[in-house]
Amino acid sequence: MTALSHDVLIVGGGLAGLRAAVGLCDTYDVALISKVHPIRSHSIAAQGGINAALANNPGGKDDTWEKHAFDTIKGSDYLADQDAVEAMCREAPGIVYEMEHWGCPFSRFPDGSIAQRPFGGAGYPRTCYSTDLTGHVLLNTLYERAVMKGVRVYPEWYVTGLAIDDGVCHGVAAFDLMNGEVVPIAAKATVFATGGYGRVYFYSTNALINTGSGIGIAYKAGVPLKDMEFVQFHPTGLIGTNILMTEACRGEGGYLVNSRGERFMERYAPRAMELAPRDIVSRSIQTEINEGRGFDHPLGTYIKLDLTHLGEQKILAKLPGIRKICIDFIGIDPIREPIPIMPCQHYSMGGIDTNARTETGVPGFFAAGECACVSVHGGNRLGGNSLLETIVFGKTAAGAVDEYLSRRPGAAREEVVLTAARKTEEKMTALVAGGREKTFSLHGELARTMSMNVGIFRERAEMEKALEDIGRIRERYRNVGVSSPARHMNYELMNAIELEFMIEVAHTITHGALLREESRGAHWRRDFPKRDDEKWLRHTIARMSGDGTCGISFRGVTITRYQPMERVY
């Protein structure tokens, strides 16, 4: 077994990973590993836009980065670390202009300036967009930049483990799906940008690749996770498929309507209405459904997202992708009929514990994007801040890696990555010779118990049941087997490896949620319906103990200028 070697290894081909690669490749030998081709990364699914307080732009002329920071911190229910939020919001205008100068085709106002639309929880229309394909254009712009600058890309490679020895990261073990080989890769610095864990839930807007295995790999390697109990549910997933119906639908003026014909958000957020933060809108929709004011459908109970009053011209100009998705997947033209929607899992506020420089507690190991928890989203993320976070902290990671390598220029230890690769070989051999349990069956049970018991509304008995279910699934995983011994393009084998990490991710979410006896942001306890700043204005830190159990500790929230207050919209 021969090890590959690079100065910097970036794992994940979405916006955070690509921006980190672009920022480092002029100076270092940079390689990027992606489970899929980079332009199939989940960043491409983001629709509505990227937030930035652009000075003197029409509609938001008085907007500032400080106002953006306040909206973000308030939206987070005051759990976000304010120094990190301030850094992100200061960087935002420069990031948008940088992407524009690199060729990103933003939509425009009549005067030629970058178009911005209102999004939930924002005091100004600061969400820059390209119709409803913003993630698509940003991802392609950054991928073209990476190719132009010569970043080495390993597409359809899956990282199976970190190579850490004596508290320092030396690279990874990876599975080359095309050739069916396990490959050790040594690197002086490793950056995880592996995305979220949506597929731990049954109802999710996330792509099938979003298993959260990168988060699980870090956790099993001893790297702490932060605030895993905070799971965002998007208010408007298309019924049946859960495909995202972007917040831009409401930003452009769409209504939410129940079976009585009411715009019911007036009861829950009388000022912001449909543009309240996502946690509030999701709970409001679910309450309407739970209390019998939804519409019945063979695919489930739903609420209507009505765009018909916007008119054909506006929908075709601003929301063409949404219209196509509705026609293709459910046979409804939103120009003429309301869209049937339901809330579903969408985003991971928690993740790998990092500081505002993307550094973890392990020298040589960094994390950025949705797999990381900086924390800039706290208890609830505002729409339009995720694309911003990925690019800002991808760029930040590049700077942090450069500083790290200037201090520690020595080579990575090849024997450490060889050991990690041998462990993967042993795991694959065991799976091929394994028992009768099938990955898809266990994954389905895991996802269902998470959606049923650790969802929008939570209480002790349900979460205790989820922990019992996860424990049983973990035991049954010991008998998982795969159908074919072949390695070449064996996705069943890859999924079987991923499932182990998904089980641990689900456990940390549930354990943290059970311990946090308050309601804050997206974490809503029926049995503890109030926010409790005296006891719970703190981060949850989950670390895997030596015996494989989950140890939980807590850490204070960084507060700079914005003291917690009641969150009203």
Sign of the torsion angle spanned by Cα atoms 374, 376, 377, 383:
negative
Q: Are 411 and 165 in contact (CB under 8 A)?
A: no
325 contacts: CB under 8 Å, gap ≥ 6: 238, 243, 245
Neighbours of 462 (CB within 10 A): 19
Q: Cα angle vertex 513, ends 508, 516, to 5°?
A: 125
Q: Which of 234, 323, 377, 507 is catalytic?
A: 234
Tokens of 478: 């010991």
SS3 helix, strand, coil % of the chain, rounded to 5? 40, 20, 40
Q: Is 250 a catalytic residue?
A: yes
Q: Which of 199, 250, 346, 539 is catalytic?
A: 250
Label residues 94-130 b or e (16+ Cβ within 10 Å = b).
Answer: ebbeebeeeebebbeeeeeebbbbbbbbbebbbbbbb
Q: To which H or E segment does residue 203 belong?
A: none
Q: Are 161 and 154 in contact (CB under 8 A)?
A: no
Q: To which H or E segment does residue 445 belong?
A: helix 439-453
Q: Is 271 a catalytic residue?
A: no
Q: For strands 339-348 and 127-128, give the pairing.
A: unpaired
Tokens of 250: 């409401």
Q: Which residues are known to be catalytic?
A: 234, 250
